[in-house]
Homo-oligomer: A and B are copies of this chain.
Amino acid sequence: MSRGYFSDIPKIEFKGPESSDPFSYQYYDKDRVVLGKTMEEHLRFAVCYWHSFCWDGFDIFGAGTFERPWQAGELDQEAAEHKLDEAFDFISKLGVPFFCFHDVDVMAAAATPQEHVKNLSVMVDKIEDKMGETGIKLLWGTANLFSHPRYMAGGATNPDPEVAAYAAMQVRNALEATHRLKGENYVLWGGREGYDCALNTAIGHELDQLGRFLNMVVEHKHKIGFKGTVLIEPKPHEPTKHQYDVDVATVYGFLKRYGLEDEVKVNVEANHATLAGHSFEHEIQLANDLGVFGSVDLNRGDPQNGWDTDQFPNDLREITLAVYYILQGGGFETGGFNFDAKVRRQSVDAEDLCHGHVGAIDLTARALLNAAAMIEDGALERFVEDRYAGWKSGVGAKMLSGDLDLAGLADYAVDNNIAPVRKSGRQEYLENYVTRFTK
């Protein structure tokens, strides 16, 4: 590559909190040790291929605005390689350790299964080389089962099993590619696994299709010896009226139903959390408590717009709490922070892609410092422990252990004619506490 698209973007370096250089990190000092690990080890940032290198800026009311050179013509082998060069150049400049991709993001367009297998295979070799050259690793791979018209009525949940077979072909190859590239996770996002119209949909049948399909994926993972984590990414709707993987709780119930709760974890996306009516940190807390927390797609939605805007995060308080609960849950194992975020359609320059990522990386690093300070301080954790301390003994403990049944517990209330004392939840105090640490 002679003069690339990102040539004018400098390597982004840590310059400290006083820096006002927009092409520097104020907080992300990757080797800085926080709570016993480096920032890089904690945060495990990944750049996503699709929004950053494949999307051309189109939206439902207008055509692409970006004019990236590799998007000028057909997505053939040459364009795929051009894109790969630019992508790894950009990620290298950011200095983040990981990337993520869908099969169709990286390869030349394919019209048939056989072409798909071939075109993907060629690019996996190229990607492997690039990874070797740059040291950039794969956080996760996935298969795109939503963009092609064949998937208009779903992949695994399609009324036509031929489409499920096509999906199986893509997933098998994407999973094997991920394995070969030493990916740390494999993700499934069911953008078309749901329905547009309940009238023509056998919901139970489709759930069974999906449950069987996911079991097949897990079996194949074990067969090929892939040690990474299989992840489902919840979202309530959009593109469809309704998606089956609504939120963390729904996915948990689905996994239980199909015997997969020990095999599969969730990839929590901030914007999908809020679309589902939950705060981002709620979904992380719940995933922790249900034992299914895996990884994060970091971005933000617009609280006044009702669709998936996938903006870069900029809410320091929200990300501070997200990191706090991730650390509370033990931190990432195979997961990481993938920026499933796109610059706005008016942000047409190479540098805009840089601003989006630099701002998000720095915000998250700053959030890590805040969260670590809260953990070291410990007051929030202690508050919660104290609040539930009553359950460690007495009737509380007996109820939980099964030593008291309903009648026994009711009798306790009547015999003692109890009068529970109201105790403040101290919400405002705790919110102020978090505000104090959000800096």
Contacts and interface: CB of A to CB of B under 8 A. Distances in A.
Contacts of A302: 241
Q: Report copies per complex.
A: 4
Contact of A410 (B168, B312, B343, B421): B168
A253 interface: yes
26 contacts: A57-B149, A60-B60, A60-B239, A61-B146, A61-B239, A62-B151, A113-B418, A150-B422, A153-B346, A164-B396, A166-B418, A169-B413, A173-B410, A198-B279, A200-B383, A200-B426, A200-B427, A204-B290, A246-B249, A249-B249, A249-B250, A250-B253, A252-B257, A316-B317, A348-B422, A362-B432
Interface stretch (A5-13, A330-338, A400-408): A400-408
Contacts of A169: 409-410, 413-414
Contacts of A59: 60, 239
**Interface extent on A, as a size class?**
35 or more
A4 interface: no
B166 A198 contact: no
Contact of A279 (B304, B405, B412, B434): B304
Contact of A428 (B312, B394, B432, B435): B312
Contacts of A312: 428, 431
A217 B410 contact: no
Contacts of A68: none
A420 B166 contact: yes
A430 interface: yes
Interface string A37-65: 00000000000000000000101111111
Contacts of A227: none
A142 interface: no
A256 interface: yes
A376 B353 CA distance: 28
B422 A390 contact: no
A383 B388 CA distance: 52
A209 B166 contact: no
Contacts of A219: 405-406
Nearest to A199: B430
A2 interface: no
Contacts of A57: 149, 152
A380 interface: yes
Contacts of A383: 200
A274 B303 contact: yes
Contacts of A421: 160, 162
B196 A346 contact: yes
Nearest to A379: B20
A361 to B, nearest CB: 11
Interface in A158-200: 158-166, 168-169, 171-173, 191-192, 196-200
Interface in A369-397: 380, 383-384, 387-388, 390-391, 394-396
A268 interface: no
Nearest to A317: B315
Contacts of A282: 198, 242
B168 A217 contact: no
